Amino acid sequence: MLRQVLLTLSASTQARELIMANPLTRDVVARFVAGETAADALTVSRRLIADGLDVSIDFLGEDTVDREQAAGVAEEYVRLLGQLSAAGLAGGGRAEVSVKPTAVGLGLAEHGEKTAAENIARIAAAARNAGTTVTVDMEDHPRVEATLRLVAELRADFPDLGCVIQSYLRRSTDDCRQLAEASSRVRLCKGAYKAPEGVGLAAKKDVDLSYARCMRILLDGPGYPMLATHDPRLIAIAAARARQSGRGQDSFEFQMLYGIRPAEQSRLAADGARVRVYLPYGSDWYGYLVRRLAERPANLAFFLRALATRH
Question: Could you list the residues that contact ligand FAD (CB under 6 A)?
Answer: 137-138, 164, 166, 189-193, 228-231, 255-257, 260-261, 278, 292, 295-296, 299
Strand segments (E) across the chain: 54-59, 95-99, 134-136, 163-166, 185-189, 224-228, 253-257, 275-281
Active-site option among 16, 155, 185, 187:
187
Question: Least distance to ligand FAD from the beta carbon of 9, Å?
Answer: 18
Active-site option among 54, 137, 160, 208:
137
Question: Least distance to ligand FAD from the beta carbon of 303, Å?
Answer: 11
Residue closer to ligand FAD by CB (options 83, 167) is: 167
Report the residue count for the chain.
311
Residue closer to ligand FAD by CB (options 119, 299) is: 299
Spatial neighbors of 79 by CB under 8 A, at least 6 apart, are: 38
Residue closer to ligand FAD by CB (options 94, 292) is: 292
Q: Is 137 a catalytic residue?
A: yes
**Is 17 exposed, middle or buried, given 0-12, 13-18 or 19+ CB atoms closer than 10 A?**
exposed
Question: Least distance to ligand FAD from the beta carbon of 168, Å?
Answer: 8
- CA-closest candidate to residue 170, choices 137, 214, 215: 214
Contact 176, 165 (CB under 8 A): yes
Query: Distance from CA of residue 303 to its chain's centroid?
Result: 22
3-class DSSP state for residue 139? coil
Residue closer to ligand FAD by CB (options 111, 233) is: 233
Q: Which amino acid makes up residue 237? A: I
Question: Least distance to ligand FAD from the beta carbon of 278, Å?
Answer: 4
Q: Is 296 a catalytic residue?
A: no
Query: What residues act catalytically?
Result: 137, 187
